[in-house]
Amino acid sequence: MMWDEKANGRSKKSQKGFTLVELIVVLVILGILIAIMVPVLTGWIRKAKNQDAILECRSVVMAAQGQAAEEYAKNPNGSMNDIMNEEGTVEAIMKTAATDGKISNPIELDESVTVTGLKYTTAKGIVVIYDRAHQPVYRIESDADRKLNSAPSYKDKLEELMKKDGLLGEEGTVTDKLKPTGKDNTIGQALQQYFFEKLGDKFPVLTEAEKEELKDKLKKATDGTSHKLSDEAWNGFQTKLDEAVWKPIVTAEGKTMMVADVGNNKDKKGAALACIIYYDNNYYVKMNPGGNSVNTIWISDQGSARDDGFKSEWLNDSIVKDGWSKI
């Protein structure tokens, strides 16, 4: 049998594979394509999830509007903002909406009993803001929203307005222009009334983002120490956060600070049953005598008018038993 070297050469050439350089080039190209496509795909997925969250919030708003009409028909002379935020009413709204999330901020209504605002958090943790006063009326909560609705931003805004109105001096202390409005009123009540009116006749609740931030700060401050909180103590702290509203207080030194008030009457002006305070760019919690749970304590609204005004010297830079501790 004769050997056909020409045919054999063609056979060897046809069986030749990719070189190492060619494989590297292919892998580089694939890597570039993946680098381009992954962010795009992630963006599409996020956008789809956000759209689903907005649709859920629409259902909640529609259910809330229907519930508002029903409640107004039953009690036309009642405070609709209070009625709509009662636990039973909120449960009825969520049952009608048939969603798995929760309303995470008070439902707001105008004089015509139209729902004008609420915040809805999906079961997956996406927060949707419904606000008829802005466009678009439905939006996903941004980092700017989270920073805007917190004790630091409230305090900054309050002091900015006070300076503009001549109620706060250059050294950060309240001026003589901030005066009680009645015989039985205090300087603290005057400040709270001012704050209350500037925020649309309401005291702001703690947002979900701020609650998470506070829990994270407390965990970092207590973990690995003798003040570590038990599961029961954590549940108690969560309950306090859910019940609290931010109110301003005038300290004994005449400065302003924000307190998280867990008292029963969220619209009442005066002394605050506080579990957290925000002062001089820091959050503080009141630890119980055992040092292993967060306590509440009444803070005077008298300011510098009496000796029982809150004093900054009571604040501690570390976790201490039965004292205000920085977190």
Per-residue pLDDT of 247-297, as tens digits, reads 998 888 888 889 999 886 677 888 888 889 999 889 999 888 877 888 888
Average pLDDT over residues 66-84: 90
Position 61 pLDDT exceeds 90: yes
Q: How many domains does the chain divide into?
A: 2
Shared domain check, 242 and 169: yes
The length of the chain, given as a count of residues: 327
**Confidence bin at 202 (pLDDT 50/70/90):** confident
Structural domain ending residue among the three candidates 141, 176, 203: 141
Residue 245 in any domain: the answer is yes
Structural domain ending residue among the three candidates 141, 176, 192: 141
- What is d(CA 245, CA 267) in angstroms, rounded to the nearest whole number? 9
To the question of pTM greater than 0.85 for the whole model, the response is no
Residue 184 in any domain: the answer is yes
Residue 10 in any domain: the answer is no
Position 8 pLDDT exceeds 70: no
Shared domain check, 218 and 113: no
**Considering the chain, what is the average pLDDT of its residues?**
84
Shared domain check, 214 and 73: no
Shared domain check, 170 and 303: yes
Per-residue pLDDT of 302-313, as tens digits, reads 765 455 678 888
Shared domain check, 304 and 230: yes
Q: Where in the sequence is the domain holding 280, given as residue range(s)?
A: 146-326
Residue 7 in any domain: the answer is no
Residue 90: count of CB within 10 angstroms of its CB: 19
Residue 31 in any domain: the answer is no
Structural domain ending residue among the three candidates 141, 160, 188: 141
Looking at residue 283, what is its pLDDT?
A: 92
Residue 206 in any domain: the answer is yes
- HSE-up of 197 (CA within 13 Å, CB side)? 7
Position 1 pLDDT exceeds 60: no
Residue 14: count of CB within 10 angstroms of its CB: 7
Shared domain check, 262 and 150: yes
Task: Please report, rounded to a whole number, the percentage of residues in the chain having pLDDT higher than 70.
Answer: 90
Per-residue pLDDT of 12-35, as tens digits, reads 555 566 788 888 888 889 888 888
Looking at residue 317, what is its pLDDT?
A: 86
**CB-based contact 68:122 (threshold 8 Å):** no
Residue 32 in any domain: the answer is no
Chain centroid, CA 282 distance in Å: 16
Position 105 pLDDT exceeds 70: yes
Shared domain check, 194 and 104: no
Shared domain check, 165 and 300: yes
Shared domain check, 210 and 122: no
Shared domain check, 270 and 234: yes
Shared domain check, 79 and 218: no
- What is d(CA 309, CA 150) in angstroms, rounded to the nearest whole number? 24
